[in-house]
Amino acid sequence: MNGAIAVFGASSGSMDQTYYDAAYRMGALIAESGNAMLFGGGDTGIMGAAARGTHSAGGKVIGVIPEALNLPKIAYPECDELIVTTGMRDRMERMSELSDAFCVLPGGFGTMYELFEILTLNQLRYMLKPVVILNTNGYYDKMTELFEVMYRENCAREMCRKLYSVVNTPEEAMKALAAWEAPELSRWLTDVPEGELK
């Protein structure tokens, strides 16, 4: 790939150590693969661990942070490149533009927002880029169960399964990204005749 892999994850520093270890390893593997790591620019939690992991393996770290959060002890101070945006929405837009792939680590509401925006952009074909969900310690088990409810109740089409992979280790995440091939997706509104789409 040799581009930029975006990493989304928690800023919390109060999680079990296994989450930070997996994030650190994820960052290191991104660097070893020859890719830059692009992230939300935070110094703490999973975000900071992934950035330090990337730097430990000689990789490049690109931060994208809104100006309100670009503060000491909040922003990762060792970014090789730091892009400051006016707010959260243009931050997400810049991250989606600059990234060639996305790796979603455990996180809170902000991480969920990032994940679902990327999946929605892929679903509607505003872009089509690989998404890997790193399910450390089964963190996303309940979410993937909800996905199954969405498919069962016809709130999401089966083709959406092609938009993401769920893996358990950073090594599996890198393998999934390397093996990704852009799926051929049918129209997202297949029950609307072609001429009625505007």
CATH number, domain with residue 59: 3.40.50.450
Contacts 24+ apart (CB under 8 A), 60-66: 60/31, 60/36, 61/36, 61/37, 62/4, 62/36, 62/37, 62/38, 62/98, 63/38, 63/39, 64/38, 64/39, 64/40, 64/91, 64/94, 64/95, 64/98, 65/40, 65/41, 65/91, 66/91
Nearest-5° angle of CA 49, CA 53, CA 55? 120
- The torsion region of residue 42 among left (phi > 0), alpha (psi -120 to 50) and beta comes to beta
**What does the alpha-carbon distance between residue 179 and residue 150 come to, in Å, rounded to a whole number?**
26
**What does the alpha-carbon distance between residue 152 and residue 155 come to, in Å, rounded to a whole number?**
8
Domain count, the chain: 1
- Structural domain containing residue 82: 4-196
Q: Would you state the pLDDT for residue 184?
A: 83
| Residue 188, token pair as written in the block | 């997202």
* pLDDT per residue of the chain (198 residues) written in tens, 0 to 9: 679 999 999 999 999 999 999 999 999 999 999 999 999 999 999 999 999 999 999 999 999 999 999 999 999 999 999 999 999 999 999 999 999 999 999 999 999 999 999 999 998 888 999 999 999 999 999 999 999 999 999 999 999 999 999 999 999 999 999 999 998 877 654 544 555 443
Q: Would you state the pLDDT for residue 195?
A: 52
Q: Would you state the pLDDT for residue 124?
A: 87
Report the candidate in 37, 39, 41 with the shortest Cα–Cα distance to residue 71: 41
Q: How far apart are the first and last CA of the chain?
A: 35
